[in-house]
Chain A
Amino acid sequence: MTDDTLRDLGKQLPTDRPDAARTDKVRASLLAAAAAPAARPSRRWLLVGGGFAAGALAAAAAVTLLVRSGDESAVAPAHEAYAHVESSSAAQLEHTMVPSATGTDEVVRVKAGTVRLAVPPTRAGDRVRVATGDAELEGSGAYEVVVEADRLAAVTVTSGTATLRLAGQQQAVFLAAGQTWRATVQTAELAIAPDPTPSQPPPPSPDPSRPPNPNAGADSGAERAPSIQATPRLPTPSPGVGSGAERAPASQTATRPPPPTPGADSGAERAASIQTTPRPPTPSPGVGPGAERAASIQTTPQAPTPNPGVGSGAERAASLQTPPRPPPPSPGVGPGAPRPPTTPGADSGAERTPSRIADVDAPASGTRPGNGARPAVPGSRRTSATASGAPTETELTPDVPPAPAPAISVAKPVAPAVDPVTETERHFRAGAAALRANRLAEAAAELAAAAAGEGPLAVDGRYYQAVALIRAKRGAEAERALVQFLDKAPASSTRRGRAAVMLAKLIADRGDAAGARGWYELAAKDPDPAVSAAAKAALR
């Protein structure tokens, strides 16, 4: 059989040749559909576009999560130790890693010697700590720890940040890159102090131009001086005694502790001080990660509470925020409330707490009732410090230009969303009201908007949209609305029959009796006797 034979044979196959009635019916339906506004195609494309957009967002979120998790795993595998430890030959240390409730707790216990550590950013829930007999250091970056006789003598942070907690001291000390903390040694005169009790006056300041801390000896939580001021430590901590401790001048950049005065390092008289090494001006907070970010955090040493923004995530911030010692009271900061990152954008954790971001981003307006204090101007003091009349920030870091002090804020209690009226319901109510008021165009528009939603109310909205359109003499649009209603309405809907009758009448009114007949037949089977009777009468 040749191709021509096959072609001829195929052409003999019967084809559908519609009669005039069918053609007219299709033509009328076609013109009615074409006359209706082209809402359906655009809506369909809107849905398709929305679907694609949602899919793209979901994919982006998934990729982001994968990348983040991949980065984290690349930075610090969970099964390996985070800290890279280098120690002197004489150092005595112990490196342990134990699982904790939230991850792993890696502890480098140093009893003596000089130890250098490099700690990468950890996963949320994991901790890396350096512990001595009297202090605990935690942070990410590189730092050197000098321990003498199981007591912390000095800490130098070369990169990253570190949080130092001293036994007997409620407030933590934050150290940024380039900063050194060292335990100072009391002078001989102080060493002969008979009994360092809480009532003991503070040691004299080496700087005669600076008055002694008026809060000395009166440290009681909220009124205590900022944590960067040294306080006496073990073995007999005396709160407030060290609040007027001497501070090394800015030019003093030694990272090693000075040789202790013989017989003076009795422990009771030891005080801590912060030595700030010269470093570039502090950038604005939230500018970038790494040292800049750390620097911006460090410019707020007067913060009376640990800065959770130093960590590497919200979870880590939470762990930092719950030191073994109770946090000092702070005006406006509720006890036990998780502290958000104090520097906007300074911590990835800030990105994970949107409500807190919003809180931080709120315009600073001084003290906000119940929400902690906010600096009126960047770099101003925290309310907790000013309320007590404690020394100001400039007294503590004269070599560091004042940087915008990050605001500490507490996540405001978010009221549950009370919005029972959905968009569909709102449109439906508006459309129903307009229909009752005989504002037909408005009713049709509102009900069409309601019908664009989902659920039974949207289906009813389509029905009443058709009613409004019929009353408005917009037959073609009403036909379209009725067809859409009948497409969506469940079989149990009591309005199906009425809709079918209305649709049939519309079709019959434009001369398509054959097209109307099918709808009348459908309505004739409706359980509602009134609807059924009307349809049967029309059929007759």
Chain B
Amino acid sequence: MAAKPTPATGADIIPLRRPQLARPAPELSDEALLASCGVGDPAALGALFDRHHEAVYRLISRLLRAEPTETDDLVQLTFLGAWQSARGYKGKGSVKSFLFGIAANTVRRHFRATRRRLDALADPPPAPSPGTPEDAAVTAQHLRRLAAALDELPHDLRAAYVLCDLEDLPGAEAARILDVREGTLWRRLHDARRALREAIEGGSS
């Protein structure tokens, strides 16, 4: 066996084995994390939370206008539900869709249980929009009308609109999350869009 060339450093000893360097463990997939949750690994739950909590926060806040603490509770319930039902994950969809499904159900139950009174909540501040001040004013007005219309929208229609239009989920996946047929989802989405459009345009006319 030919000896390796001596390094330029001039070292006389040639290591036979490279030392085990501390390297970061390969990042586990979502599915592996969920499987770990299924066997009771809380660290996996923490990793799953770190990875998806922003999306879950966003989805829940779009599905339900709520106080921050209320949203926190719903997010926690969502991940706790994922922890408890991790064994039931069949891999039909992505883990994110799995979490979204739990979140949608959690929000729906919460919505039905509390029968929220939206009057107590402040209107959301409109996001700054680029363009001229006139355009910005029009956009802000549309946003306020859209937010109000969303609050008036039935929860099923709102969920269809949020999942398909705002979260950009495929129809089949959204239908699975909402546990409805795809045709039902499209009908709900159509109804939601029409209602929102009428609310925005009707308010401007």
* A contacts, CB < 8 Å to B: 1, 3, 6-7, 9-18, 22-23, 25-27, 29-31, 33-35, 38, 41
Q: Given A3-B193, A27-B46, A29-B76, A18–B125 Cβ distance below 8 Å?
A: no
Q: By the criterion CB–CB under 8 Å, are B54 and A17 in contact?
A: yes
Q: By the criterion CB–CB under 8 Å, are B72 and A22 in contact?
A: yes
Digit string of B74-85 for contact with A (CB within 8 Å is 1, else 0)? 011001100110
Q: By the criterion CB–CB under 8 Å, are A13 and B71 in contact?
A: no
Known: A1-B200, A9-B143; 8 extra A-B contacts, CB below 8 A, are A1-B197, A9-B139, A12-B127, A13-B62, A13-B127, A15-B62, A16-B58, A18-B57
B79 to chain A, nearest CB (A): 5
Residues from chain B with Cβ under 8 Å of A41 in the complex: 84
Question: Which one of B42, B124, B146 lies within 8 Å of A10 (CB-CB)?
Answer: B146
Can you identify 15 A-B contacts, CB atoms within 8 angstroms?
A6-B193, A6-B196, A7-B166, A9-B143, A9-B200, A12-B129, A13-B62, A16-B57, A17-B54, A18-B53, A26-B49, A27-B50, A27-B53, A30-B79, A34-B45
**Binding site of A, secondary structure by majority: helix, strand, loop or mixed?**
helix
Residues from chain A with Cβ under 8 Å of B61 in the complex: 15-16
Q: Is B176 in contact with chain A by the CB < 8 A criterion?
A: no
Q: By the criterion CB–CB under 8 Å, are A34 and B80 in contact?
A: yes
Q: Given A26-B75, A26-B76, A38-B84, A31–B193 Cβ distance below 8 Å?
A: no
B146 to chain A, nearest CB (A): 6
Lowest 7 A-B CB distances belong to which pairs? A16-B61, A15-B58, A7-B165, A15-B61, A14-B124, A34-B83, A12-B127
Interface extent on B, as a size class?
35 or more
Q: Is B60 in contact with chain A by the CB < 8 A criterion?
A: yes
Question: Which one of B45, B125, B166, B193 lies within 8 Å of A11 (CB-CB)?
Answer: B166
Q: By the criterion CB–CB under 8 Å, are A27 and B49 in contact?
A: yes
Digit string of B119-137 for contact with A (CB within 8 Å is 1, else 0)? 0000011110100000000
Residues from chain A with Cβ under 8 Å of B34 in the complex: none
Q: By the criterion CB–CB under 8 Å, are A31 and B46 in contact?
A: yes
Residues from chain A with Cβ under 8 Å of B50 in the complex: 27
Q: A34–B80 Cα gap in the complex (Å)?
A: 7
Residues from chain A with Cβ under 8 Å of B139 in the complex: 9, 12
Q: A23–B147 Cα gap in the complex (Å)?
A: 25
Question: Which one of A13, A27, A35 lies within 8 Å of B147 (CB-CB)?
Answer: A13
Digit string of B175-205 for contact with A (CB within 8 Å is 1, else 0)? 0000000000000000001001100110000
Residues from chain A with Cβ under 8 Å of B57 in the complex: 15-18
Q: Closest B residue to A40 by CB, please name it.
A: B84
Q: A30–B150 Cα gap in the complex (Å)?
A: 30
Residues from chain B with Cβ under 8 Å of A38 in the complex: 84
Q: Closest B residue to A10 by CB, please name it.
A: B166
Residues from chain A with Cβ under 8 Å of B143 in the complex: 9, 12-13
A15 to chain B, nearest CB (A): 4
Q: A10–B54 Cα gap in the complex (Å)?
A: 18
Q: A530–B76 Cα gap in the complex (Å)?
A: 34
Residues from chain B with Cβ under 8 Å of A13 in the complex: 62, 124, 127, 143, 146-147, 150, 166
Question: Which one of A1, A14, A15, A30 lies within 8 Å of B49 (CB-CB)?
Answer: A30
Q: By the criterion CB–CB under 8 Å, are A30 and B76 in contact?
A: yes
Q: Is B108 in contact with chain A by the CB < 8 A criterion?
A: no
Q: Is B142 in contact with chain A by the CB < 8 A criterion?
A: yes
Residues from chain A with Cβ under 8 Å of B80 in the complex: 30, 33-34
Q: Is B98 in contact with chain A by the CB < 8 A criterion?
A: no
Q: By the criterion CB–CB under 8 Å, are B166 and A34 in contact?
A: no
Q: A41–B84 Cα gap in the complex (Å)?
A: 8
Residues from chain B with Cβ under 8 Å of A7 in the complex: 165-166
Residues from chain A with Cβ under 8 Å of B142 in the complex: 9
Question: Which one of A6, A11, A26 lies within 8 Å of B197 (CB-CB)?
Answer: A6
Q: A160–B140 Cα gap in the complex (Å)?
A: 90
Q: Is B161 in contact with chain A by the CB < 8 A criterion?
A: yes
Q: By the criterion CB–CB under 8 Å, are B72 and A9 in contact?
A: no
Q: Is B68 in contact with chain A by the CB < 8 A criterion?
A: yes
